[in-house]
């Protein structure tokens, strides 16, 4: 039976984050069958998409003399530079074709502003620009948020941290996530930080 007050957030299961993509997460496509198997257990399912313009601030190619994975300061915000990815209108920005989108209730597109990166489904990296997701969920009376997808140490991590900060009981479905691990050991560090914050780390079998 679906719990009426829960929601599943599916982070960035897009072609560019899966094998063969511009910013592929190792084994990123392995989350897809797990996610497809659990979506019907949730009252609301929210899919998140990176949705970048070509001139996005997070792309290394837009910083002369810099390369992918360098870290720069952008208006006081620490910015990791990435290969160009999930550009609006490209195949890389599309959801992976094996991901079952039939049960999605809402799609949140983030990173649309060329001047601000956005890892979280709730708030951009300037920590002031909101996406409206908090209001959507609270307006439906949702109190429990479960997060899965790509990548464990970025969009999953930041979405889960914002969820708990906004007062939701927050869970991460770990076997339905894969991480980038940049810098090294970032996945474990992210998991430890989430646990310290009170986020519950679970497996899909526990749902």
Q: Which of the following is catalytic: 29, 50, 110, 177?
A: 110
Question: 26 with 164: CB under 8 angstroms?
Answer: no
Question: 136 with 168: CB under 8 angstroms?
Answer: no
Whether residue 94 lies in the annotated active site:
no
Cα gap 74→133, rounded to integer Å: 25
Cα gap 42→9, rounded to integer Å: 10
Both tokens assigned to 47:
């899919």
Whether residue 12 lies in the annotated active site:
yes
Cα gap 160→121, rounded to integer Å: 9
DSSP secondary structure string, 63-93? STT--TT-EEEETTEEEE-B-S-SBTTSGGG
Cα gap 207→6, rounded to integer Å: 12
Whether residue 148 lies in the annotated active site:
no
Do β-strands 71-74 and 77-80 pair in parallel, antiparallel, or remain unpaired? antiparallel
Q: Which of the following is catalytic: 16, 155, 162, 177?
A: 155
| Catalytic residue list | 12, 110, 155
């Amino acid at each position: 039976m679906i719990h009426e007050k829960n929601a599943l957030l599916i982070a960035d299961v897009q072609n560019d984050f899966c094998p063969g993509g511009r910013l592929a997460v190792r084994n990123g496509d392995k989350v897809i069958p797990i996610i497809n198997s659990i979506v019907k257990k949730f009252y609301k399912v929210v899919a998140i998409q990176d949705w970048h313009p070509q001139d996005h601030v997070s792309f290394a190619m837009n910083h002369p003399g810099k390369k992918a994975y360098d870290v720069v300061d952008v208006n006081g915000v620490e910015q990791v530079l990435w290969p160009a990815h999930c550009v609006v209108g490209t195949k890389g920005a599309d959801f992976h074709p094996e991901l079952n989108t039939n049960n999605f209730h809402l799609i949140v597109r983030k990173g649309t502003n060329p001047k601000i990166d956005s890892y979280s489904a709730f708030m951009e990296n300037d920590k002031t620009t909101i996406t409206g997701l908090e209001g959507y969920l609270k307006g439906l009376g949702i109190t429990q948020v479960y997060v899965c997808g790509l990548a464990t140490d970025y969009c999953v991590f930041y979405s889960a941290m914002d969820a708990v900060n906004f007062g939701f009981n927050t869970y991460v479905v770990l076997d339905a996530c894969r991480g980038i691990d940049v810098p090294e050991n970032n996945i474990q560090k992210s998991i430890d930080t989430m646990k310290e914050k009170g986020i519950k780390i679970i497996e899909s079998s526990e749902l």
